[in-house]
Amino acid sequence: MKLHLLELRAFGPFGDTETIDFDALGAHGLFLMHGPTGSGKTSVLDAISFAIFSTVPGARRSQAERLASDHARPGVTPEVALEFTVAGRRLRVTRSPRYFAVKKRGTGRVQRPAKVLLQERTGTGWSTLSTRADEVAEVLDELIGLGAQQFAQVVLLPQGEFAAFLRAKADDRADLLRKLFDISRFSDLEQWLVDTRRSVRAAIDAKDAQIRTAVVRAEESLVDLAPQIEQWRELSVCALPTVIESTREHTSERLTHALAATDATSAALENATQQVDQETTLARLQQQGARAGQVWQAWEEGADQRAALQQRLDRHVCATRVQGAIRALERARVREQQAQTALARVTGELAELTTAPEQLRVSVAQAEPALAQAAEAARILDRAERTLPAVVTTLNAAEAAKETVRTAQRQVAERLQVLATTALAAGQTIDTVADLERRELVLAEWQQARDRVASATKILSAAQRSLEAARTVFLDAERAAVDLRVRRLAGFAGELAEGLVTGDPCPVCGSCEHPAPASSASIVRQDDIDRAEAEAATRRKEYDEAGRRAAAARGTTETSQSALELIQVRWCELAAETLDESTAATIRAEVQRRRSSVDRAEAVLASCEQQKVDLTHRAEQLQHEEKQADESAIRATTERDSLQTQAADARTRRDDCLATHDELCPCRATSEHDDERVESIVLVHKALSSKLQQWAELSRQAEDAGSTAEDCSQELNRQLDDEGFLDAAEAVTARIAAPEEAELRRQLEHAHNLAQQARGVLDQPEVQEAMAQTPADPAAAAARRRAALEENKKAQSVFEYAKRATGSLERLGEDVRQHLAQSEADRERLPALDRLADLVSGAGDNALHMRLSAYVLAARLEHVTTLANHQLTIMSGGRYQLEHTDAKAKGGARSGLGLQVLDSWTGTSRDTASLSGGETFMVSLALALALGQAVLHEAGGRPLQTLLVDEGFGSLDDESLELVMQVLDELRSGGRTVGIVSHVSELRTRVPAQIRVHKTEQGSRVEVLVGDAGSAA
């Protein structure tokens, strides 16, 4: 994992936006972050952790709600953005904490939720991966492979915490190791063994409790055996099946004897029960025979009375059969009387007309068609006369509407003409200002072009100076290389002289004596020439590059100058003035002065356009309204003429039809009012017609009623003769009331039923046989049965108890054996589980009192000490080595996580608390680096390309500081970047790449100094 860029805004002590380029710092491999106390150095580390994990490390986690800066301006959102590479993917995570913002309306503050954005850089730019916190956490966890706590220990390396770890007790040391190393499977194994032992023991205890409960229930139900069962409580549950079986066999023998006694008493009870049943049956039959004899005797004595009652009922039935004919005759005579009365009344009402009723009916029927036609003509005339005024009103309204529309059309035309004049004036004003604005735009382009020309000129001057400096350096390097080549040629004699050996021949002259060899002090080696030529070539490339930059700057200057000249040409096309600063100021002032008038003119023009549209639409509406008014006037005129014609025709037809009616029908002579309206005439005619129809109907009803009364009288006389009555009065007297009839019939039927039942009982053979025997005595038989029943109950009670006891003991034995069988496997497992659970929990036979998880942590710690000693050997100059010890702790404390230091100068091991401040820092740093490496390997994390070491360098002397810096330099291998957070001033001169954090009243700010990459090597 490698950090690239960190941006902070309104975060912690930083009120504005601050940027840290780790790529620029990474070019040196080592950088320093320093600043006053409280300036925000740790907040930079917090920002890295917050961006990745949405939390800050260590004790500062409790202040996570106050990550937003108090120095930020209102409305600025706190935010942290971090770019980093992990697993070959370039990611950027932007995260905002939850914070309180000032309300836009009203007073007070409102809480804003936390936000996150995860992006990945692809070939086309940054693409969004997720904006959900849970998805972002899942992606980062999968890629980084470290949790927040592990990341804080592995990447940020907080030295203070590792110094505390170095001196901590075993339990405290174990807490930190558990946070860094995942030993959950071993802890889970510990807990599983303990929980399994607890559950197995609980299962056995539960089965034992169930067995004891079953025994107690048996003791409560088996009272006779309670003293014996109470002794079982002292026995183990495994011994209970034997004693239960022995007791059950004894109880079974008692059950056999009780069964024999029960059978004997049951037989005696059955015999006594049969005797009771026989005596009871005999007594019942004798009682039935006596009651039946009494009923039959009473039946024979009441024969005369029953005959009289039956004769009275028969006369009533005959009278009932002629009752219908009597009522029919009465109804017929009433209807005949009513019809004659009504006919006489109607005949009297028609007596004033001299014509007979039959002739009147003919005349009225002949006049009805003429009267109907007159009524229809009157309705048409009335409808026409009522509709005509409304049609005339509609015609007048249509004519008035036409005149109103014409007036409105003239007003719209006049308004359109006024709007055209106003819009023309406003357009002229806008065109004038638009021309000035075009000039202003050209002036703005001219100013920008001038600025570009000036900037390009400055760049060209700088490029030319750089070119001249590069040329001088290149010529100096070239001269130096040439000088070395010349010196090389001149120093060949000295080089040959170096190769001469006394006694060997000279390769030039062949002499074995070398009296005056040339001096080799000024010899120039070929390596020196190669380096000089390489330096000259490098300077040549720099000179060429400076030449290209100067050419590019020259081209940019010429392009900018050409663009400026083109703008000046465009200006000459727009205006005749000279293009300078004074002209620009004049044009701007004129545009500003006339802009308000343009706004008004545009508003007027827009208003005119809108009014024109509205008026045009209004003119179209008026044209449509005029057309509708014309059509309405034509329709009203046509309808008026038609109604007038209909009224004249209807009036003539009405008068003709009324005259015809008066010639045929005398109905108007019966009316007391002389009303000429057709409606009145129709009513009078209908009244006479109805009266005549009523007379005809009443005549028919009177004739029918008389005929019906005669028929009913003849039928009544026939029925009276058939039933044996002299007249209707005798038949009416023979009838009796319905309740009395029902009561007589019920008495006769009841007496008959009782007699039949009594005869049936007396005819039964068993009754006749019982009546011949002596009276029965059921009471004596019942007493004998009660005595037998009591003996049987006693025997049955003894049997039931023996049976229940035997069954209870059988069930108890079965339950005990079943519970023991169910817990047999657990009873066999428990001893081994006890030993294993004690062993992994640090109890029992565990001599070191070391838990399994502590043992695993001890192995991890041993591995960490091995890794730490590699760095500690360098930092301590080979003096110190960390040692892991699993010696048994004092006072029964946990063992296996001890640390001590081996001092090679004395050859003794001592406690880490005896180290000095500087020694503690070196050991802590080595331990932190080793822990980070071990945790990364354990978690399967990605290689770390960025490390940050927090504080502790102030406790080192110069020599120790040099050794520690040597270790940190080694960490830079492979492109790794190491950051140091320290107040030590000497580090500022040793490490050129720096992050300076400045503290001010307006909030902290960050300054990044990169320096020369070569000086950091």
What would the mean pLDDT of 753-771 be, rounded to a whole number? 80
Give Cβ neighbours of residue 392 (< 8 Å, ≥ 6 apart): 636, 640
Candidates 619, 635, 621; CA nearest to 398 is: 635
The better pLDDT of the pair 564, 70 is held by 70
Tell me if 977 sits within 8 A of 947, measured CB to CB. Answer: yes
Query: Helix H segments across 222-302?
Result: 226-230, 240-301
pLDDT tier at 722 (50, 70, 90 boundaries)? confident
Mean pLDDT of 590-603: 66
Positive or negative: CA dihedral 578, 580, 586, 590? positive
Q: Yes or no: say if 159 and 949 are a contact pair by the CB < 8 Å rule.
A: yes
Angle between helical axes of 917-939 and 170-180 (0-180°, round to 10):
40
Band (pLDDT 50/70/90 cuts) for residue 540 is: confident
pLDDT at 82 over 90: yes
Domain ranges of the chain: 1-145+982-1016, 360-591
Residues 6+ apart with CB under 8 A from 181: 857, 860, 934, 935, 938
Nearest CA to 50 out of 90, 93, 101 is that of 93
- Range in 11-20, 431-440, 818-827 the model is least confident about: 431-440
Q: Is the pLDDT of residue 482 over 80?
A: no
* Phi and psi, residue 642, nearest 5°: -65, -40
Mean pLDDT across the stretch 371-397? 77
Long-range contacts of 677-680 (CB under 8 A, 24+ apart): 678/374, 678/375, 678/378, 678/654, 679/375, 679/378
pLDDT at 62: 53
Residue 481's identity, in one-letter code, is: A
Rounded average pLDDT over 749-778? 80
Q: Is 119 a residue whose pLDDT tops 90? A: yes
Give residue 219's pLDDT band: very low, low, confident or very high (50, 70, 90). Answer: low
Residue 1015 has pLDDT above 50, yes or no: no
Percent of the chain with pLDDT over 90: 4
Mean pLDDT value across residues 791-796:
80
Helices (H), 665-777: 678-723, 728-734, 738-762, 765-772
Helix, strand, coil abundance in the chain, percent, nearest 5: 70, 10, 20
The residue with greater pLDDT, 196 or 439, is 196
Residue 91 has pLDDT above 90, yes or no: yes
Q: Please give the mean pLDDT across all residues of the chain.
A: 76
Calculate mean pLDDT across residues 352-379: 68
DSSP label at residue 130: E
Q: Does residue 1017 have a pLDDT over 50?
A: no
pLDDT at 63 over 60: no
Q: 8-17, 127-136, 197-206: which range is least confident on average?
A: 197-206
pLDDT grade for 94, boundaries at 50, 70 and 90: very high
Residue-wise pLDDT tens digits, 148-177: 776 766 666 554 555 666 666 766 667 666
The predicted pLDDT at position 671 comes to 47
pLDDT tens digits, 963-982: 667 766 666 655 677 888 87
pLDDT confidence band for 80 (50 / 70 / 90)? very high
pLDDT at 990: 79
Residue 90: what pLDDT?
A: 92
Q: Specify the range with the lowest mean pLDDT, choosing from 320-329, 451-460, 534-543.
A: 320-329
Q: How do residues 401-428 score in pLDDT, each as one tens digit?
A: 778 877 877 777 877 777 777 777 767 6
pLDDT band, residue 1016 (cuts 50/70/90): very low
pLDDT higher than threshold 80 for residue 626: no
State yes or no: pLDDT of 729 exceeds 60.
Answer: yes
**Which distant-in-sequence residues (6+ apart) come within 8 Å of 248 by Cβ?**
806, 809, 810, 813
CA distance to 126, 143, 262, 627, 948, per residue, from 581 (Å): 45, 61, 140, 67, 56
Token pair of 874 as six digits: 């360098």
Q: Provide the whole-model pTM.
A: 0.40
pLDDT value at residue 96: 92
Of 128-132, 274-278, 722-726, which one has max mean pLDDT?
Answer: 128-132
933-944 confidence digits (pLDDT tens): 676 666 554 566
Is 50 exceeded by the pLDDT of residue 142? yes
Q: Which CATH class is domain 1-145+982-1016?
A: alpha beta
Q: Report pLDDT for 674.
A: 41
Mean pLDDT value of segment 544-568: 83
Which position has the higher pLDDT, 884 or 510? 884
Q: What pLDDT does 574 receive?
A: 65
Q: What is the mean pLDDT of residues 884-888?
A: 71
**pLDDT surpasses 60 at 676:** no
Q: Does the pLDDT at position 206 exceed 70?
A: yes
Q: Which residues pair with 11 in a beta bridge?
A: 14, 68
* pLDDT score for 159: 47
Whether 215 and 233 have beta carbons less than 8 Å apart is answered as yes
Does 672 have pLDDT greater than 50? no
DSSP per-residue letters across 593-630: HHHHHHHHHHHHHHHHHHHHHHHHHHHHHHHHHHHHHH
pLDDT at 5: 92
Q: Which residue has the tokens 């490490």?
A: 991
Q: What does the pLDDT read at residue 81?
A: 95
Rounded percentage of the chain residues whose pLDDT exceeds 70: 75
pLDDT band at 899 (very low <50, low <70, confident <90, very high): confident
